[in-house]
Structure 1
Amino acid sequence: MRFTLAAVALSSLVGSVLSAPTASDLEARWEFEREIVQRGASDRSLELLAQLQNTQAGPAPQSIEEALASITLVLQIGDGIYDLAVALIAAGFAPGDISSILSTYSIGDNSPFNINLRSPQGDRIFPKKSPSDAPYSIPEIILRGAIRIPSSFTYGQKPPLLMVPGTGSTGGISFGGNFRKLFKNVAYADPVWLNIPGFLLNDAQENAEFVAYAINYISGISQNKNVSVIAWSQGNLDAQWAFKYWPSTRAITSDLISISPDFHGTVTALPSCPGYPTESCNPAIVQQDYNSNFITTLRSNGGDSAYVPTTTIYTNTDQVVQPQDGTGASAYLLDARGVGVTNNQIQTVCPGLPPGVSYSHEGMLFNPVSHALAVDALTNPGPGQVSRINMATECLKLAADGLTTADIVATEGNNIISVVAIIVYPAKVNAEPPIKAYAA
């Protein structure tokens, strides 16, 4: 989805700002865009999509133990994100009708078109909150519309928590079967989430604008309280870019909780784009290559160190982000500014025990250690610390307390949704997007 098309569509819906877009409005819009996508899709993309659609879905796992056993097998036999998606469908993790994924997951809690009329208190956010902030290139109506604020949000009575999704996903999808459920009725976190247009497949520099704006906006409508951020996958790159180039976000962010982050990109990015650069690829995937200009720019001048207290949580069995082991892990973040960082590889935290064996990229969202460290970070100053957690108990669990088999299946299904979004994304490129002038 292009921001210009989204801006026109949204502006027509809120010209009088009297009512939000209906499900039928959004379905019609996505149907129109899906037709454009498939008319312009390459033969290879259509072949991959057909392969997914024609895969016979197996029966869903009936227990958390069965689900994790299936995931372990899939991680062993899969070869690349497309084969993994096929294997997950066959293993019973299919999220419904593949052909309707983009329309089904673009309304309601996954909508990128939300009507947030409340004005933030304090300094103006747009076009800049601070003279040192980078300029926004995306219209404010689009930046604000991507923030999904549930009816339960307390506007500062509880500490606000912004959830940022990963590549090929929305906040509603990424966190629906895990942290959204786990943090729904707690005193220490009040979740909102981002549904960034284009399923985070657009230029990652533009994706980061949504994070920077949302941190300032949510703080401004929450009595100027600090915001904590929990991000998955590319969401962490976008958050780190936002902290680097929108310094106004740093002082109002209490924590960054990073699940499966790729702060140094991944060597598996370009293999996800068959034939690149002869065949085009998604901008954000090209940018997440281990040696991309985006990653190099992000990590330069101290960008490989935290800007806010940061808790990173990752697994060396990650099928999407590699390398992901030890101090050479892509998730590993330095602490040159002394803000506080803990790097938590589950194989080290729970060696040989259930949470530290074989979890997928998306499986870290329901890993019990991820939840325990997130809670610890949100309820204490600084990053999450295993020394404050009863690891003897947490390391015997298979999933975070309060999650069901259906939650694990839904979370693991993120992989399939992401792959479909990657295949049908319309605005593919044959070269990495140029670095924005403010960062060049």
Structure 2
Amino acid sequence: MLSYIEFLYVFSFVCTLIFSLNVFASDCDPSITYPPLNRPGPSYTVPRSNLSNYLKCYKGENHRKRWILFVPGSTEEVKELYSWNWMRIMDKKRWSYCTVQLPEKGLGDLQVAAEYIVFAIRKMYKKTTREKEKGIRNKTKINIIGHSLGGTLPRFAFRFWPDIRLMVNHLIAFGPTNHGTIMADKACSLLHCPIAVTQQRINSSFLCALNSYQETFSSIKYTNILSKFDEIVRPLNGSEINEKNVTNIYIQDLCPFRVFAEHLGAGIYDYCGYILTMNALRSRSLNNISAEKCCSKTLMPGINISKTEFLSKVAYSAEEHARHLLINFGEVNEEPELRCPFRTDCIIGRRKVKRTKLR
């Protein structure tokens, strides 16, 4: 019987062999036009009370550091994902941070889920501005850390709610689905999918809107911490953004044989992922980090649990991921229509655009 880590190694290795030759290529519909980059964002469609209930903040005493927002991915419960690693580190360092839970565990319509990100950023920025006015803090912009979809969805918020761009200092993403994944394409070609999975297919309407006209904004720094053994995001360059204010770094470029730093491990428990993240938070260059330092330990320092408990946490995360996917499979057979605030050609006269069918 394979242990979870052994299974992870085999599965990641097989995915690497199968999908290593796939290269991401954009093929968005050129007939669809999108709002100008600086058009004011739409109003909330979700009640403010709901948006507020999904945001939890923890104030630390170290006021020299920026507030950090933690965002989970699809199928993930934010506290279950971050409480045994990053939240422990934040508490020990006395840094202030917030967590935002995505509705429907990030499996519903991502156009709606983005509103939770927008609300969280605005709320946190108001908090930091008040602290600055009181002389408590001198840095008002926040940092964002997101895993998988949690590293992608903030970019949709930046694209269509331009007021929040100046509220964010740095987006640090672990294995984001920035340009989609062939794994979503494969799954949705066989079965009906959760809505969010259809929206993370390569060249989905959602991702084409997200990446329309320009992918980043100069006021924000971007860091993508990636794994060559990522079994979820394939092809690998689907996570990358190739612009001058973006750093794309693979853990295996420093630690070639670190196979356990896969889609989940790269930013959630791996020591090298921790070193890269902390350097990004401190605005230090990731190009000067030595392999000796990055590869010297296995787990990040916040994880002070036994090996058995650690394996249980990882196995539970994998089990929950699979369970929520299975519960929500059979949901839809086509991607939801891109809402009018996110395209300029959604209604022409009385004719509505056609819905995008899965291919």
Smaller-chain TM-score bracket: 0.7 to 0.9
Distance of 2:248 and 2:312 partners within structure 1:
27
1:183 corresponds, among 73, 90, 107, to 90
Structure 1 spans left out of the alignment, 5+ residues = 1-57, 62-66, 80-129
Indicate the RMSD between aligned Cα atoms, in angstroms: 2.8
Which residue identity is paired with 1:251? Answer: L
The 5 A counterparts of 1:66-77 are 68-69=5-6, 71-76=8-13
Equivalent residue for 2:67? 160
> Is structure 2 residue 120 aligned with structure 1 residue 214?
yes
Q: Is the 8 A contact 2:70 2:145 kept in 1?
A: yes
Q: Is the 8 A contact 2:194 2:331 kept in 1?
A: yes
Equivalent residue for 1:438? 341
Q: Is the 8 A contact 2:46 2:112 kept in 1?
A: yes
> Is structure 2 residue 103 aligned with structure 1 residue 197?
yes
The 5 A counterparts of 1:63-212 are 68-69=5-6, 71-76=8-13, 132-150=40-58, 152-153=59-60, 158-187=65-94, 189-212=95-118
Deviations 1:81-139 (A, max 9, x none): xxxxxxxxxxxxxxxxxxxxxxxxxxxxxxxxxxxxxxxxxxxxxxxxx9722322211
- Normalising by structure 2, we get a TM-score of 0.77
Distance of 2:84 and 2:189 partners within structure 1:
31
**Alpha-carbon distance change, 368 to 423 in structure 1, aligned in 2, over 3 angstroms:** same
| Secondary structure at the counterpart of residue 163 of structure 1 | strand
Shift of the alpha carbon at 1:232? 0.4
Moved more, 299-308 or 370-379: 299-308
The 5 A counterparts of 1:18-97 are 68-69=5-6, 71-76=8-13
Shift of the alpha carbon at 1:372? 0.9
Seq. identity, %: 22
Shift of the alpha carbon at 1:285? 0.3
Shift of the alpha carbon at 1:323? 0.7
Shift of the alpha carbon at 1:360? 2.2
Shift of the alpha carbon at 1:168? 0.6
Equivalent residue for 1:299? 211
| Secondary structure at the counterpart of residue 202 of structure 1 | coil
| Secondary structure at the counterpart of residue 342 of structure 1 | strand
- Normalising by structure 1, we get a TM-score of 0.64
Which residue identity is paired with 2:261? Answer: Y
Distance of 1:437 and 1:289 partners within structure 2:
21
> Is structure 2 residue 162 aligned with structure 1 residue 250?
no
| Secondary structure at the counterpart of residue 146 of structure 2 | strand
Which residue identity is paired with 2:262? Answer: S
**Alpha-carbon distance change, 131 to 330 in structure 1, aligned in 2, over 3 angstroms:** closer
Equivalent residue for 1:11? none
**Alpha-carbon distance change, 155 to 390 in structure 1, aligned in 2, over 3 angstroms:** closer
The 5 A counterparts of 1:271-350 are 271-273=186-188, 275-276=190-191, 280-303=192-215, 308-324=220-236, 329-335=237-243, 338=244, 340-350=245-255
Deviations 1:356-414 (A, max 9, x none): x443211112122221111111122xxx5323434312123222234233345414532
> Is structure 2 residue 319 aligned with structure 1 residue 413?
no
Moved more, 223-232 or 420-429: 420-429
Shift of the alpha carbon at 1:271? 2.9
Distance of 2:118 and 2:203 partners within structure 1:
24
Which residue identity is paired with 2:252? Answer: Q
Which residue identity is paired with 2:128? Answer: S
Distance of 2:251 and 2:111 partners within structure 1:
30
**Alpha-carbon distance change, 426 to 268 in structure 1, aligned in 2, over 3 angstroms:** closer
**Alpha-carbon distance change, 213 to 149 in structure 1, aligned in 2, over 3 angstroms:** same
Structure 2 spans left out of the alignment, 5+ residues = 17-37, 131-139, 344-359
| Secondary structure at the counterpart of residue 280 of structure 2 | helix
**Alpha-carbon distance change, 158 to 209 in structure 1, aligned in 2, over 3 angstroms:** same
Distance of 1:209 and 1:306 partners within structure 2:
22
Distance of 1:436 and 1:203 partners within structure 2:
11
Shift of the alpha carbon at 1:238? 0.8
2:271 corresponds, among 368, 371, 376, to 368
Aligned residue pair count: 309
